[in-house]
Structure 1
Amino acid sequence: MPVPPLPNAFLIRPIAHRALHDGNRTRAENGRLAVEAAIARGYGIEIDVQPSADGDAMVFHDYDLGRVTTATGAIRQRSADALANVSYRTGEVGIPTLAQICDQIAGRVPLLIEIKDQDGMMGSDIGTLGSSVAKVLRDYEGPLAVMSFNPHAVAEMRDLLPDVPRGLTTSDFPKKDWLLLSDARRAELASLDKVEAVGASFISHKITALDHPPVLALKERGIPVLCWTVKSAAQEIKARKVAQNITFEGYLPA
């Protein structure tokens, strides 16, 4: 099966991490105002998706609602209709569905979607989130790519949306950041040896580990390297020595 290339648009415009939020003061991450702010400045947009209780793909990063909204508990325990009435700490109301955000962006800027791991151990129990994402994206028009830390989720997108570019979100997977994973699983993920197996056309790697030998090897092979998350102009200069584009927050890249 041919690997769809990452559109060049993803290598030109800096990508706003969780859209162009402002630290959840007035524009919530992954929210509609942050999306519109990114579009207004011409940035690409990275968003995350989690499932609702009734299976809709919701644009939200965390597994729990409490950090960025006034609600508590797991997002997957509430229906999409209930989540539409949840208030962010910014005062905005309504966690959007992926369909709503796709309608809002409408191809105006590149859209990068991270499918959050549903297994808990980066394994094969990925649930129905991928199929919900695929249903929304099947008719989307505009620069589009999907990615996940979990190789099983990326492989599923290869099968469900073979023409949509897909990538692995990657890291050197230090133990302090991945306490639930075994040493063997962390080493396997850090090796980046699933890139070819899942048909990934790019990676998005942790900024502090861009000198990781497997990253440099992929770059040498011509596989695009994006990175997360750049938080200053000084970090951007350093990151671009390896990465072809950045995902950023907390400042405005040129």
Structure 2
Amino acid sequence: MTVFLVILFILLILVSVLYVLSIRPCNSRRDRMEEFKSFYVAHRGLFNNKDIPENSMPAFANAVYHGYAIELDVQITKDDQLVVFHDKTLKRMCNDKRSVSKLTYAELDSLFLLNTGEKIPFFKDVLSLVSGKVPLVVEIKPEGRFIKTAELTDKLLSEYNGSYCIESFQPMVLKWFKEHSPETLRGQLSTVYTKKSLKKPWWMRFLLNNLMLNFISSPDFIAYNHKYKNRFTYRVCRAIYKPFNVAWTIRSQKELVNARDVFDLFIFDSFIPR
């Protein structure tokens, strides 16, 4: 019995060590993230989804005008064009059931955002509009050909004269940047996944829910759903490694106040932060 308990104790120690190592982020470049802290980050631009749709040129121009950093979503089209659009399908924003990745840009160009005169913008056009005036937080969507999306995004950003970082829910996107564009600041997006919200095997949800693929993605910051700031693994990661923490998505002044004790940077929409 004593031998069994000793073996069990050793195994528990080993598992604990592996767990702690697996959630380790990259803290060596935290100072480079500090420049973002003087900004609030407008989620998909500063929009109202009436006359200014999310992820539209007016939304980005509005954010720049008011001095907010910008978070935006990058996807790839069927003909390898990078566009700025959040959802996998066009249903919510364009009343079209098709997927962005299944269409060419010419096909997307015939659609309008929320019955306005605005169209889905090219990523390169957004970069030209912002032109380094405010920092960018570029989310690379995890669907479809995300590695190709990462490659094309990096190509455009390498020629961009302004502050930016990338983030993704997909750890392999961050791994690609770590290996091919190591100077680019990268962030691991995370939340608490359910079977309904993420149709992946249970073990994959477990690893993602507990930040246990950080050893692969080596993120410079953790972008976490602020509603789960007290989740055990996230608290352990913060306590041991003290990463740079980004909150998403803050939608009221009350939520902002409640998040200040944990987070360094705040992605917001639906209100004006103060």
Letter in structure 2 aligned against 1:52: T
Partners of 2:122 and 2:29 in 1: how far apart?
A: 26
**1:54 and 2:58 are equivalent in the alignment:** no
Partners of 1:188 and 1:155 in 2: how far apart?
A: 16
**1:19 and 2:38 are equivalent in the alignment:** no
For the residue of structure 2 that corresponds to 1:197, the secondary structure is helix
Q: Determine which of 249, 252, 263 is the counterpart of 1:229.
A: 249
Partners of 1:207 and 1:25 in 2: how far apart?
A: 26
**Partner residue in 2 for 1:204:** 223
**1:38 and 2:63 are equivalent in the alignment:** yes
The structure with the greater share of residues assigned to helix is: 2
**Percent same amino acid at aligned positions?**
24
**1:139 and 2:164 are equivalent in the alignment:** no
Partners of 2:157 and 2:80 in 1: how far apart?
A: 15
TM-score (norm 1): 0.90
TM-score (norm 2): 0.84
- Give the paired residue count: 247
Structure 1, 52-61 or 89-98: larger mean CA deviation: 89-98
- CA deviation after TM superposition for structure 1 residue 37, in Å: 0.8
**Partner residue in 2 for 1:253:** 273
**Are the aligned partners of 2:188 and 2:221 in contact in 1 as well (CA < 8 Å)?**
yes
**1:86 and 2:86 are equivalent in the alignment:** no
Q: Determine which of 188, 191, 195 is the counterpart of 2:210.
A: 191
- CA deviation after TM superposition for structure 1 residue 103, in Å: 0.9
- CA deviation after TM superposition for structure 1 residue 162, in Å: 1.3
**Partner residue in 2 for 1:77:** 102
- CA deviation after TM superposition for structure 1 residue 218, in Å: 2.9
- CA deviation after TM superposition for structure 1 residue 26, in Å: 1.1
**Partner residue in 1 for 2:54:** 29
- CA deviation after TM superposition for structure 1 residue 30, in Å: 0.7
Structure 1: 4+ residue segments shifted above 6 A = none
**Are the aligned partners of 2:147 and 2:176 in contact in 1 as well (CA < 8 Å)?**
no
For the residue of structure 1 that corresponds to 2:216, the secondary structure is coil
Letter in structure 2 aligned against 1:212: R
**1:182 and 2:182 are equivalent in the alignment:** no
Partners of 1:90 and 1:163 in 2: how far apart?
A: 40
- CA deviation after TM superposition for structure 1 residue 135, in Å: 1.3
Structure 2 residues without counterparts, runs of 5 or longer: 1-25
For the residue of structure 2 that corresponds to 1:27, the secondary structure is coil
For the residue of structure 2 that corresponds to 1:192, the secondary structure is coil
Q: Would the alpha carbon gap of residues 4 and 196 (structure 1) be closer, same or farther in structure 2, given more than 3 Å must change?
A: farther
Partners of 2:114 and 2:52 in 1: how far apart?
A: 9
**1:107 and 2:129 are equivalent in the alignment:** no
For the residue of structure 2 that corresponds to 1:89, the secondary structure is helix
**Are the aligned partners of 1:85 and 1:93 in contact in 2 as well (CA < 8 Å)?**
no
Partners of 1:146 and 1:114 in 2: how far apart?
A: 6
- CA deviation after TM superposition for structure 1 residue 217, in Å: 2.8
For the residue of structure 2 that corresponds to 1:177, the secondary structure is coil
Letter in structure 2 aligned against 1:18: R
**1:161 and 2:184 are equivalent in the alignment:** no
Partners of 1:3 and 1:130 in 2: how far apart?
A: 23
**Partner residue in 2 for 1:7:** 33
Q: Deviations over 1:60-97 (max 9, x none)?
A: 00111121124441111222233233211141332111
Partners of 1:16 and 1:76 in 2: how far apart?
A: 25
**Partner residue in 1 for 2:237:** 218
For the residue of structure 1 that corresponds to 2:112, the secondary structure is coil
Q: Would the alpha carbon gap of residues 4 and 80 (structure 1) be closer, same or farther in structure 2, given more than 3 Å must change?
A: farther
**1:64 and 2:84 are equivalent in the alignment:** no
